Structure 1
Amino acid sequence: MRTVGVDLAAEPVRTALAWVDWSSDGARVDRVKVGADDGLILDAVMKADKAGIDCPFGWPEEFVDFVTAHRNGHVEVPVGPTGREWRRDLTLRVTDQVVHDLTGLTPLSVSADRIGHTAMRCAGILSGLARLGRPVDRSGEGIVVEVYPAASLNRWGLPHRNYKRAANLDRLGNLVDALQAAAPWLDLDTCEEACRSSDDALDAVIAALTARASALQMTTTAPPEQIDVARSEGWIALPTGPLSKLPVQP
């Protein structure tokens, strides 16, 4: 089995892509590429059994309705709630709020933060997969699943804060050490140095590990009453089992 992880950014220069091969003995990171363009991402995902992409797959439905209403005339502002309260459903998707409830982490707002630029690129990549015959179910069924590496690390009991940016290279190295101790079956091979020097590279590996968990049905999924909104907005897969279980099943 091969899983792919994508730490997507608005431009290729900060986009990392990881390929992970799985066997009965464990997993090996075959390759990590920082500076991945759309063509390389599409090729990697098309050849994978499951891919995890760290980026919102859609926008909050209430935000889309709000913008549409504003374009067509005037929006209706609820009476009573403060601005922050009534804007919550405009800025956070259902899955973002679920992630916060389960982990205490709040994903970046796709409608009110710069992650929106990355989501626009992601939408184009998902469309590209559809054109190549692999349409994407944004709820996570099928070839691609939305992931959030920091939340995956949180669920696996690993350090998940303050490891990004050049100023935190020591913390990044400590996280790699913690990952290797928790998953001795994971062979970073020639990609270890990339993971120690680039948080984008490590996040791509974590995305690939989460894709494996999703393929094994070891992640959260949208409940029946939220499946329609998940197929519109996207749904972040959170691990539901220990990291040690990932290499057990074929």
Structure 2
Amino acid sequence: MKLLLTSGGVTNPSIHAALERLLGKPVGEAHALCIPTAQWGHPACGPTSVRGLLAADSRWAHLTGLGWASLGVLELTALPTIGAERWVPWVRAADVLLVDGGDAAYLAHRMRESGLADLLPSLEETVWVGVSAGSMVLTPRIGQYFLEWAGAPDDRTLGVVGFSLFPHLDAFPTNTMADAERWAADLDVPAYVIDEQTAIVVADGAVEVVSEGRWAMLEPQERGRR
């Protein structure tokens, strides 16, 4: 897959250009599937926010409201009940998967349960656009700081990429750089800290930061030394 991992979506011209570079076509010619599933696992989300995402309300102008050629919904909780022979062709026909935020641990669980996680390696030309938890789910760990779903056995996620991600830098009082540094101290992988104007592009084995805002790269803490 080609990955566009964001905090707040496609929020500026630089990220928009990166998206179209990954797609190989204008957004208006690309067919998208929206995945709202992570919202169900987070206490701050629910029916109203899911509706806003799917209706491309102004709050989601930077994701579902970008003017896609078509926009469909892929609800992962339904997939185990309908069979892969139905939903896999839908995914393969899409140019892009728009994966919204919520709880990354819950999303990882549903991706494994539905079979979507196993399908990802075969989607070589598909673009994954993640927002917040929709980006974090592809990392190895999210840290206890972001673990909201009570059913999660631990903070491990899918590990598609080799780094962790701290989104929403400075967007909330509890998402400062100092908070990010405390969060990263418990991780054993590199971590990116990104604001709403920053994205991480992963394609062809390369990682690139695209930003019109603020970001940082935090290396893992040395362990076993005193």
Which TM-score band applies after superposition, normalised by the shorter structure?
Answer: 0.3 to 0.5
Quick one: higher RCO (CA 8 Å, sep 6+), 1 or 2?
1
- Normalized per residue, the structure richer in helix is 1
- Normalized per residue, the structure richer in strand is 2
Task: Name the larger-Rg structure.
Answer: 1
TM-score normalised by structure 1 residue count:
0.33
